[in-house]
Amino acid sequence: KEIIVYNQVDSTNKQAKKLAIDGEKHGTVILAEEQLEGKGRRGRLWKSPPNKGIWLSIILRPDLHPSKASMLTLIAGLAVVHTINRYTKNQAFIKWPNDIIINEKKVSGTLTEMSSELDVINYVVVGIGVNVNTTDFDDEIKEIATSLANEEGKSFERALLVKGILESFEKFYDQFMVDKDLSHLINEYEDNCINVDKTVRVILDGQEKIGKAIGITKMGELRFVQASGEEMILNSGEVSV
Ligand code: BTN
C-alpha cells in the first residue's frame, strides 16, 4: 500500500479525490503536515496547523452498494478510538457516528466522501483528522475541541499513531467487507460509544427529541428509545446528536 505525503495541501480529501479520479488505486493514503482548507462535516472548516496533527485521507474502492459507504465512517471512528486508547491514560470514546471525545471534548473527526454511479461505488475517500500536539485552540472552539497533548500533558509521536490507525482500519475494514455490514463490530463499537445508555437529544427534521441511545444496528444507525418507550432508528445523515 502506498502513502503519499505532502508538506502543505488545501485538503487531503480534496487531493485524494483528484488522485482517485485519475485512477489512483485502492488503499492509497494521502497524508499532510498542514492543511490550509481542511474540511469538516456540515461544511465546517477543520483547523489543521503544521506538524501538530494527523490529517490523512484513505482512497477506497470497495465492492459495495453506495448506501453502505457511510459505515466506513464508523469503522474509521473505531480505528481511531482503539489506537488512541492504546496510548492515553484518559479514555477516549466515540460519539456516534464518528467524533472521538476525551473528557467531553472532541479530538478527532472523520469526513467521508463518495463518488458513485447508479449502484456502483467509483471511489470513497475517508478523511481522518486527529488533534495530536496542538496546544493553542481558537477561543470559539476551546470549549469543545482539544488535543491528545492537552488532555495527557505530553506530546505524542504522530507516526506511531498513524501506523496504529491504518492497521486498525485495515483490520476492521476487512471484517466489514466479509460481512458487508457491521454485525461483527457492533459490540466493539458499543463498548467504546459514549452515547450508549445515556440520554441524548437529537434534532430530527428540525425537531428536538429526547431519549436514550441503546446501541447501534448492523447498518450503523443509532438505536434510540423515546420517553414514550417507542424505539427509533436514526441515520447519521438526518440527525444531529
Ligand atoms: C468533522 O467535522 O468532524 C470531520 C473532520 C475531518 C477532518 C479531516 S483532516 C483530513 C481530511 N481532509 C480534510 O479536509 N478533512 C479530513
Distances in whole angstroms, Cα of residue 41 to Cα of each of 32, 58, 128, 156: 19, 16, 11, 25
Which pLDDT does position 238 carry in this prediction?
57
Residue given cell 498542514 in the structure block: 34
What is the atom index within ligand 1 of the atom nearest the CA of 108?
A: 3
The complex's ipTM? Answer: 0.99
Closest by Cα among 128, 129, 131, 160 to 60? 128
- Ligand 1 in reach of 11 Cβ (< 6 A): yes
For residue 48, the CA-to-ligand 1 centroid distance in Å is 9
Ranges of beta strands (E only) in 20-104 are: 29-35, 53-60, 92-95, 99-102
Distance CA 55, CA 10 (A): 11
Distance CA 101, CA 104 (A): 6
Which H or E element spans position 131?
strand 120-131
Find out if CATH 3.40.1160.10 is the number for domain 3-191: no
Provide the grid cell at 89: 491514560
Collapsing DSSP to helix, strand or coil, 117 comes out as strand
CATH class of 199-240: mainly beta
- Ligand 1 in reach of 236 Cβ (< 6 A): no
| pTM summary value | 0.96
Q: Which of 128, 131, 162, 240 to mutate to test the pocket of ligand 1 (most atoms within 8 A of CB)?
A: 128
* pLDDT profile of the chain (241 residues), mean per 10: 96 98 98 98 93 98 96 97 97 94 97 96 98 94 95 98 98 98 97 93 83 94 91 76 63
What is the atom index within ligand 1 of the atom nearest the CA of 39?
A: 14
- Ligand 1 in reach of 38 Cβ (< 6 A): yes
Q: Where are the domains of the chain?
A: 3-191, 199-240
- Ligand 1 in reach of 53 Cβ (< 6 A): no
